[in-house]
Amino acid sequence: MRDRISKALKGHNAEYVEIRLEESQGTQIRYRGRELEETGRTSDLGGNVRALAGGGWGFVSFNGLDELPDRVAQAVSHARLVGGERISLTQVEPHQETVAPEIGKDPRGISIGEKKRVLDEYIDIIWSTPGIQTSTLGYGDRYRKVTFANSEGSYIEQEKVDVTVGISAMARDGGDVQQAGLSVGSMGDFSVTQTLHDDVREVATRAGELLKAPQVKGGEYTVVLDPILAGVFIHEAFGHLSEADHVYESDRLTEIMVLGRRFGGPHLNVVDGGAIPGLRGSYKYDDEGTPATRTTLIREGELVGRLHSRETAAKMGETPSGNARAISYRFPPIVRMTNTLIEPGSGTLQDLIADVKEGVYARNWYGGMTSMEMFTFSAREAYMIRDGKVAELLRPVMLSGNLFTTLENLDAIAGDLDMNQGGGCGNGGQSPLPVSNGSPHIRIQKCLVGGT
């Protein structure tokens, strides 16, 4: 295969050509209620060619790996049709490497029967909890081998295994339905799915309790976020605007996101990096063959870095950070986050809530979205804070903020960093991309909470 790829990369008359081939196998198991709803196995084989010629990009994706030279010719001819002003790429040293996967307990070595036995235990726990109306449980594992080669001489093979579990329990009282849930994931280790018994029990119990919980009254609150939700917060509130492809074509956004600008207090430090090891967003090379790095985005409240592909780095005159990622061979790489986190300060949850007379303590994530300036994120679990103590359970809350004020209002960061590995990120139709994010407990003043 290496010879065929090398041959196809020759004599194309383009400024740059890359070929990315991918082979993947996955297993999905899904329950609805007590019953299995779906067990499936997916096997995928395909590739793409991306070419830069005459200033434009051409991209071709396909199943079946015959006719590689024709695919290259097609991508180059697409690129020439685009034309226009010159796109350049920052130089990256070509690499040749075969990267062995980091695998703990490999899910591929575990039979479907054994996987089901583990999940059945969680189903039993949920259904032995009083008041449960129904539940969903989804398990997935996916092995990917990606071969990347470009016309500059890079040839990189990388393998990865991704494992995820999502569980949701629903309780019902007449027309009122409430749900609670959890999601976990891992890069290559099935064993994270084997020890969720206590968490599942807690989720099932909470679903019932939510039926009796009140909804928060909408308005501004002092909000304390747990590490999981705070990770989602920093991903949505700030992370997406640090992706250079959102700003590099806009003079105005480039001014707003100028390096050196202050976004928060001196206690705020934010980092992203595929080179942070052992997490779901970790890798050695991105999908353009650029080595992953660890990029400080905010240091002591000041914007000091951003995430780049080779194209955005060239355009902005900055260093490529190895953040060009594609969810599969069907898509060209775009700038994406990897493992994003708020670095720890000091203290505990108790320190953060001690002075709060009335506020909201929000935990665990349901989802989040951003339009860059404004963003929302939602908690699966929320409590009132009253007189410095966590008080009554609330129905799940949705929080909303504004990039320019909410980070400034982030006034306290505890020391208990934890990473959320259960998430996936969507952007440009590519979802869910494995990422992780994390933070210690944080406190935000005047955060908008939706409610009745």
Q: Which of 45, 100, 259, 354 binds another protein (CB under 8 A)?
A: 45
Q: Which is nearer to another protein, 169 or 353 (CB)?
A: 169
CA 198 to chain centre: 25
CB 39 within 8 A of CB 29: yes
Q: From the list 373, 392, 415, 432, which residue makes contact with another protein (rule: CB under 8 A)?
A: 373
**Which position among 11, 40, 214, 266 is part of the footprint of another protein (CB under 8 A)?**
40
Find the length of the chain. 452
- Interface characters, 374-393, with another protein (x: CB under 8 A): xxxxx---------------
- Which listed range, 50-58, 190-198, 347-355, 416-424, lies at the site for another protein (CB under 8 A)? 50-58
Is residue 63 a contact point for another protein (CB under 8 A)? Answer: yes
- CA neighbours within 13 Å on the CB side: how many for 180? 27
**SS3 assignment, position 67:** coil
Q: Which is nearer to another protein, 169 or 192 (CB)?
A: 169
Report, in Å, the least distance between residue 32 CB and another protein: 6
304 contributes a contact to another protein by CB under 8 A: no
Angle at 420 between CA 416 and CA 426, to 5 degrees: 140
- Rounded to whole angstroms, the Cα distance separating 292 from 285 reads 5
Cross-strand pairs, 102: none
Identified binder of another protein from the candidate list 4, 6, 15, 46, rule CB under 8 A: 46
Q: Which is nearer to another protein, 289 or 332 (CB)?
A: 332
Is residue 87 within 8 Å of residue 58, measured between CB atoms?
no
Closest approach, Cβ 412 to another protein, in A, equals 20
Structure tokens at 141: 């594992």
Stretch that binds another protein, among 99-107, 109-117, 143-151, 336-344 (CB under 8 A): 109-117
Question: Does 84 sit near another protein (CB under 8 A)?
Answer: yes
Instruction: State the minimum distance, in angstroms, from the CB of residue 347 to another protein.
Output: 27
When the beta carbons of 177 and 390 are compared against another protein, the nearer one is 177
Does 330 engage in binding with another protein (CB under 8 A)?
A: yes
Of 32 and 212, CB closest to another protein = 32
357 binding another protein? (CB under 8 A): no
Least separation in angstroms between residue 82's CB and another protein is: 5
CB of 261 or CB of 389, closer to another protein: 261
**The amino acid at 56:** G
Locate the DSSP E strands across 117-214. Answer: 132-150, 155-173, 176-187
Both tokens of 79, joined, read 């690129």
Question: How many binding residues for another protein (CB under 8 A)?
Answer: 79
First-to-last CA distance in the chain? 60
Calpha distance 181→380 (Å, rounded): 7
Using CB under 8 A as the binding rule, the residues of this chain from 256 to 295 that contact another protein are 256
State yes or no: cis peptide before 432, omega within 30 of 0: yes
Residue 195 DSSP label: S
Which of residues 172 and 299 has its CB atom nearest to another protein in the complex? Answer: 172
Q: Closest distance between another protein and the C-beta of residue 386, in Å?
A: 20
Write the CA distances from 319 to 130, 307, 396, integer angstroms: 56, 9, 41
Of the ranges 177-185, 262-270, 349-357, 415-423, which one interacts with another protein (CB under 8 A)?
Answer: 177-185
Contact 166/182 with Cβ under 8 angstroms? Answer: yes
